[in-house]
């Protein structure tokens, strides 16, 4: 009978192994699936007074081939990739707009100062004076078009941030619910591997949105917090993240958990959320400020120089530009109703054909202006340096994104080497467990034959 018991336990163990192998093969194409195996343990002989080699084999547990370190590496790489990937479309769009010949500020400045140079040949020419008004209006439109693009990007960032926060809250809630199910399943003897896979996939998705710290708990749950320590998931409870819009248009991020509320920093968030924050604070807002300052200082310099001259009829110069700083990004426009005959090119009220003030006006292009991040630069170089700085930022982010993509791919491959299903390995396991099952059934057949022979002898 001990032979039959041993063989039966072996057959049952082989069935468990075949079941685990079949589950692995069935999920070979399932994203995020963690392969499983059986843990075999020899059963000690019973205390019967009869010499026995043992009491067979048992399957005390199923093995889930998961490496916590490799999972953390994969989630960390997801955060870095999410951060770089989110910022790149905004950088590329702004780089193309500012560098475009049709919409760039440089060509607008060239056309405006080119019209001033053309008028220096004949300062009294009405068509040449009117061409200056036209070129000034076109330059103002280029500034306003660029500020509109910047404003649209800021609005898009607000919308994308709100969407990202909604996703973070949804995933945090899902992970908390899975924590509950896993903790409840642990004590029932039911295999929770599928629930753990679902939770890991949710965590990986969440890591792409914001950088995480993940800690395993004794009851099988996982606690998740932000990089700064603010909690997102603790056991079966999840936090709620929100964005509060400030009067200046910026947003303050908060996390509410239980009765506590945490204000998040604007840097170091990681993931898509961190990418949006970094782009807005380090690139977009300084660019909005620089373009606004450039337009305002251009208007002030031109208007100041015109105020020092006289029109052909001897009247003092009037402003050519009006800069409205009350709007969100600032608006530049030509003085409504101004005519070419009002442009003060002469340095003398009695010498209408004098062009001394016009020459000084042309020299404004080489005058210094002060921009955030660049310091003191000439008006003619300001736009070029802004485009160059933007291009450098875009190139650096692209290089970082390429590196993050490589790191992410390597992390996935490293995870698959431990947790992924290998078709060849499962084929070998399938044959081994089949042979194990057949061998144990053969042992049972032999034991039955011996038992029958024994009964026949006793009869």
Contacts 24+ apart (CB under 8 A), 211-219: 211/76, 211/79, 211/268, 211/269, 211/270, 211/271, 211/274, 212/75, 212/79, 214/71, 214/72, 214/75, 216/68, 219/183, 219/186
φ/ψ (deg, to 5) at 399 = -65, -40
Q: What is the pLDDT of residue 449?
A: 82
Residues 6+ positions from 218 with CB-CB distance below 8 Å: none
Summarised one tens digit per residue, pLDDT across range 141-163 is 999 999 999 999 999 999 999 99
Q: What is the pLDDT of residue 51?
A: 57
The average pLDDT across 334-343 equals 93
Summarised one tens digit per residue, pLDDT across range 187-241 is 777 889 999 999 999 999 999 999 999 999 988 899 999 998 999 999 999 999 9
Residue 407 near residue 80 (C-beta atoms within 8 A): yes
Q: Report the C-alpha gap between 419 and 323 in whole angstroms.
A: 62
Q: Report the C-alpha gap between 78 and 215 in whole angstroms.
A: 17
Q: What is the pLDDT of residue 338?
A: 93
Q: Report the C-alpha gap between 458 and 81 in whole angstroms.
A: 77
Q: Report the C-alpha gap between 66 and 58 in whole angstroms.
A: 22
The average pLDDT across 296-307 equals 94
Residue 231 near residue 257 (C-beta atoms within 8 A): yes
Residues 6+ positions from 389 with CB-CB distance below 8 Å: 373, 374
Q: Report the C-alpha gap between 303 and 297 in whole angstroms.
A: 10
Q: What is the pLDDT of residue 350?
A: 82
The average pLDDT across 17-26 equals 94
Q: What is the pLDDT of residue 351?
A: 78
Q: What is the pLDDT of residue 104?
A: 83
Question: Looking at the predicted structure, is the pLDDT value of residue 91 above 90?
Answer: yes
| Band of pLDDT at residue 373, cut at 50, 70 and 90 | confident
pLDDT exceeding 70 applies to what percent of the chain? 97
What does the block give as tokens for 259?
Answer: 């009765």
Q: What is the pLDDT of residue 48?
A: 54
Summarised one tens digit per residue, pLDDT across range 40-81 is 998 887 665 555 667 889 988 889 999 999 999 999 999 999
The average pLDDT across 234-253 equals 91
Q: What is the pLDDT of residue 50?
A: 57
Higher pLDDT, 109 or 104: 109
Summarised one tens digit per residue, pLDDT across range 160-193 is 999 999 999 999 999 999 999 999 987 777 889 9
Question: Looking at the predicted structure, is the pLDDT value of residue 1 above 80?
Answer: no
The average pLDDT across 385-404 equals 94
Q: What is the pLDDT of residue 49?
A: 54
For residues 358-386, one letter each, b for 16 or more C-beta atoms within 10 angstroms of the residue's C-beta and e for the rest, the string is beebbebbeeebebeebeebebebbbebb
Higher pLDDT, 373 or 112: 112
Q: What is the pLDDT of residue 47?
A: 60
Q: Report the C-alpha gap between 18 and 429 in whole angstroms.
A: 8
The average pLDDT across 119-131 equals 92
The average pLDDT across 251-280 equals 92
| Band of pLDDT at residue 85, cut at 50, 70 and 90 | very high
| Band of pLDDT at residue 250, cut at 50, 70 and 90 | confident
């Amino acid at each position: 009978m001990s032979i039959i018991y041993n063989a039966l336990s072996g057959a049952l163990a082989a069935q468990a192994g075949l079941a685990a192998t079949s589950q692995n093969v069935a999920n070979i194409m399932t994203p995020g699936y963690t392969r499983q195996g059986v843990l075999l343990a020899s059963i000690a002989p019973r205390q019967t007074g009869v010499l026995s080699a043992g009491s067979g084999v048992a399957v005390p547990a199923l093995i889930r081939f998961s490496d916590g370190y490799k999972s953390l590496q994969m989630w960390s790489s997801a955060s870095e990739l999410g951060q770089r990937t989110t910022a790149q479309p905004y950088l590329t769009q702004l780089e193309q707009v500012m560098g475009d010949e049709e919409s760039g500020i440089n060509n607008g400045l060239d056309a405006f100062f080119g019209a001033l140079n053309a008028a220096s040949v004949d300062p009294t020419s009405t068509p040449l004076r009117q061409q200056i008004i036209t070129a000034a209006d076109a330059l103002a439109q280029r500034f306003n078009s660029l500020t509109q693009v910047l404003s649209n990007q800021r609005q898009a960032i607000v919308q994308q941030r709100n969407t990202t926060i909604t996703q973070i809250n949804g995933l945090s809630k899902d992970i908390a619910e899975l924590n509950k199910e896993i903790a409840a399943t642990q004590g029932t003897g039911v295999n929770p591997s599928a629930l753990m896979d679902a939770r890991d996939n949710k965590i990986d998705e969440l890591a792409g949105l914001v950088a995480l710290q993940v800690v395993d708990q004794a009851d099988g749950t996982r606690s998740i917090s932000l990089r700064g320590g603010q909690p997102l998931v603790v056991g079966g409870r999840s936090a709620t993240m929100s964005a509060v819009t400030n009067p200046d248009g910026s947003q303050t991020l908060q996390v509410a958990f239980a009765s506590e509320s945490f204000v998040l920093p604007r840097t170091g968030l990681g993931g898509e959320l961190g990418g949006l924050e970094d782009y807005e604070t380090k690139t977009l807002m300084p660019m909005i400020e620089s373009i606004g300052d450039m337009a305002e200082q251009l208007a002030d310099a031109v208007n100041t120089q015109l105020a020092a001259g006289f029109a052909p009829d001897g009247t003092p110069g009037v402003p050519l530009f009006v800069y409205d700083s009350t709007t969100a990004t600032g608006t530049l426009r030509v003085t409504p109703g101004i005519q070419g005959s009002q442009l003060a090119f002469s340095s003398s009220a009695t010498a209408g054909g004098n062009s001394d003030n016009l020459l000084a006006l042309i020299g404004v292009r080489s005058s210094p202006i002060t921009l955030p991040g660049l310091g003191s630069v000439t008006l003619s170089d300001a736009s070029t340096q802004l485009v160059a700085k933007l291009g450098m930022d875009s190139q650096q982010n692209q290089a970082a994104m390429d590196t993050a993509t490589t790191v992410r791919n390597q992390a996935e491959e490293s995870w698959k080497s431990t947790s992924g299903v290998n078709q060849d390995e499962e084929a070998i396991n399938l044959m081994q467990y089949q042979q194990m099952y057949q061998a144990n059934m053969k042992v049972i057949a032999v034991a039955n034959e011996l038992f029958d022979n024994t009964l026949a002898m006793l009869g």
